A and B are shown apart, each in its own frame.
Chain A
Amino acid sequence: MDDIKPKHVLCFAHRGEAKAFIKRWNLKGSGEKALSGVWSTQAKQLAGDKQPPDVWILGEGIESAGIRLSYLLGRFPEVNSVINLGVAGFVLGGVVPKGFSLPEIGSLVQIRTSYGMHYDQKVRFKSYTNENLLEELPVFDCFSIGRRLTQANEYLYVSGFAAIVDMELWGLHAAAASAGCKLESIKVVSDVVDPNRAIPENLCSLVKSKSDELSELLWQAWTTWEDSRKKPTSRSELPKDFAEQLNSEFPQRFWLSSYQKNELGKHLRALSISKSLEPEELNSIVLKWIRKSQIDHIKGPAKKRGGVLSDRLKEMIYAEGAFGAR
């Protein structure tokens, strides 16, 4: 499973927002009625990374955009990562996370937690948080509303949860989560709303009057995302499965039931923390220690040795000193 390459798609609410992408990548809309809004490259022969991602135009509104995304993820199960690019408003008085300042119109923000409210005007308890944030962009939380807000006090209410407001994101998250798909979002701030004053009548004016400019900004968001993801991560490698290593070092000497494997995993995690050892380092120390303490020589079935190994490792967690003499 882990070896499957992520297949990204980019999703937008309106075609105008995606203009710059469609043009640059020379994308063509699908001729199939059920796939209207799906734009793909004609250069299918380009391999791997060179092939531009598909663009999906999902329409406006939490429900309708969410339903559309659900459908498309069902049709294209190979897609495991969705990047939502779109416009959003900034509500003055909303929570600005420490370290960031009020965004200006036209600036890019990435969304951390997505809150939502449906047509019934009830806030949804479920929120979605993206832990995988880019260093390059300011981080904000977003509240998705089910309909266009017209009253200042409605914006005031929303600002109690988040500072960015849009009309889709929560629905997209819900759809992506149920398909087991990752979703990230970068927004261009198109309006700043002061809930203590009258609501400007032409909210989202940027979308209509300056869609070329807006689409270019979203292109910039995409390139920022792409560049950031290409950087090597500093995260340490996950440890190789200890049971596998055990089996290759001591073929058929230890047998562990699924429960015991699970327990052993817990003990190793606890040991790596209590002895301040990186998991890989710990694995090799434990293997050496098994050899030295000759647990693999204990007489009896492999199952018995598996049990002894698990018990001895558990004792080690609380033992003072490292894997020295016992």
Chain B
Amino acid sequence: MLDKTFRKIMFETDVLEYPQAQKILEQFSKVPQQEINRVDDFFGRAYKPYLQKRDSLQLFLGKKRGKLLKQTPDAYGIGTGPHYYFVHAYNCIFECEYCYLQGYFSSPDIVLFLNHDEICKSIVERTKADLASGHKQVWFHAGEFSDSLALASWTGELRAYWDCFKKLPNAALELRSKSANIRPVLEQEPLENVVISFSMSPKKVVGEIEHGTSPVSARIKAAAQLQAKGYPVAFHFDPVIHRPNWKTQYQELFASMGKFIQMDKVRYASLGTVRFSSDDLRQVQKNYPRSKLLGAVFEKDHEGKHQYPVAMRKEILSQLRAQAERAGIPPEVIYDCMQGF
């Protein structure tokens, strides 16, 4: 399927040293390929409209240069330790109408960075430094600029991260996804400090807004399968989209989850309502003018983010928290994500 998705592959000469690059190029041998010096010579050089990802998507293979780790915004993850994200890809094959990536890069093309060895080295150094300065645990997140599992079968980077985190018991890795593609995870052994998290929305919202992602039933089954085999699993009920009957829809979602998942073993669960920067909101309005997302009024919060009115957000979050607890997720692992009240 993906060899029809990508219309062209551009790869840096430098990445040919990685066997993974060779593998990807072989797998997509039918797609036109071009060797280039630097991804930056092309990617983002000229503005490419976001929705052209549907028919003119290019894949770039390169090395991530510059800062390999970045601190996450406040209230991003659970616990008090520092949280970082690392970037091993730009952009995503899915198309969620609320995705902030549509306004983030000036191109929807996918970039895969293959220097996982260097990223892992930075993770080790950062962990050592943070532990030395008194922190008990350090968190690293993948999937800030892409989906962590969607392409993992082709890109094959998970082994490197497993090897890295196996040696870092005081560090934890989160792989965040809307894909039920767990095959590359199952090829690794379960590790206590590598958490696979799934973003969850009611079936109707997935169908209307999260185009191309795995159906929610498939995500539930994937999570259950991982859990049964001993992999730590977490969930993000974020972003919550206000739709008519949202309470019932979430009740149904929790009920379906409860049938397959041991809710008391869920590592953590985040709650958050949909929010946009002004630029992101403009992009949504431009790309999806009749999106169900826009069936709402947004108010600017103190950080300039467009959010549902405070009372509405509070109601949604308290309802959802109550539903999550009733479904059996331990209250102490449920947290609000970047709500900025």
Contacts and interface: CB of A to CB of B under 8 A. Distances in A.
Interface of A: 93-99, 112-113, 115-116, 123-127, 129, 141, 156-157, 159-161, 266-267, 269-275, 314, 317-318, 320
B193 interface: no
B42 interface: yes
B34 A95 contact: no
Contacts of B34: 93, 156, 159-160
15 contacts: A95-B8, A95-B58, A96-B7, A97-B52, A97-B56, A126-B47, A127-B48, A160-B36, A267-B297, A270-B294, A270-B297, A274-B244, A274-B296, A314-B297, A320-B244
Given A98-B56, A273-B292, A160 B244 contact: no
B55 A97 contact: yes
Contacts of B47: 125-127
A123 B4 contact: no
Nearest to A143: B46
A70 B32 CA distance: 38
Contacts of A97: 7, 52, 55-56
A130 to B, nearest CB: 11
B56 A270 contact: no
Contacts of B169: none
A142 to B, nearest CB: 12
Nearest to A99: B55
Nearest to A123: B45
Given A97-B56, A112-B52, A320-B245, 15 more contacts: A98-B55, A98-B56, A125-B46, A127-B46, A159-B34, A160-B10, A160-B41, A270-B297, A271-B295, A273-B291, A273-B294, A274-B243, A275-B295, A318-B242, A318-B296
Chain A to chain B: the 4 pairs with minimum beta-carbon distance, closest first: A274-B295, A273-B295, A98-B55, A97-B55
A158 to B, nearest CB: 11
Nearest to B244: A320
Contacts of B291: 273
Interface in B1-59: 4, 7-8, 10, 32, 34, 36, 41-42, 45-49, 52, 54-56, 58
Interface string B84-105: 0000000000000000000000
B131 interface: no
B199 interface: no
Nearest to A274: B295
Contact of B296 (A98, A161, A317): A317
A265 B168 CA distance: 55
Contacts of B297: 266-267, 270, 314, 317
Contacts of A275: 295
B46 A161 contact: yes
A269 B295 CA distance: 7
Contacts of B244: 274, 320
A125 B46 CA distance: 4
A75 to B, nearest CB: 30
B312 interface: yes
Given A125-B47, A320-B244, A160 B295 contact: no
A99 B10 CA distance: 21
Q: Looking at chain A's contact residues, is the secondary structure mostly helix, strand, loop, or mixed?
A: mixed
A129 B49 CA distance: 8
A111 to B, nearest CB: 13
Nearest to B315: A318
B295 A270 contact: yes
B296 A93 contact: no
B290 interface: yes
B106 interface: yes
Nearest to A320: B244
A266 B296 CA distance: 9
B56 A141 contact: yes
A95 B59 CA distance: 11
Contacts of A129: 49
B111 to A, nearest CB: 13
Contacts of A320: 244-245
Contacts of A267: 297
Nearest to B247: A320
Contact of B49 (A113, A272, A318): A113
Contacts of A99: 55
Given A124-B46, A161-B42, A98 B295 contact: no
Contacts of B106: 125
A267 B298 CA distance: 10
Given A93-B34, A95-B58, A141-B56, A274 B7 contact: no
Contacts of A95: 7-8, 56, 58
Nearest to A115: B46
Which of B34, B46, B58, B312 has most chain A Cβ within 10 Å?
Answer: B46
Contacts of B10: 160
Given A115-B46, A125-B45, A318 B312 contact: yes
Nearest to B292: A273
Interface in B127-178: none
Contacts of B4: 98
A100 to B, nearest CB: 8
A157 B10 CA distance: 11
A159 B7 CA distance: 12
B55 A270 contact: no
Contacts of A270: 294-297
Nearest to B106: A125
Contacts of A157: 41
B11 to A, nearest CB: 11
A128 B58 CA distance: 19
Interface in B284-310: 290-292, 294-297
Contacts of A161: 42, 45-46
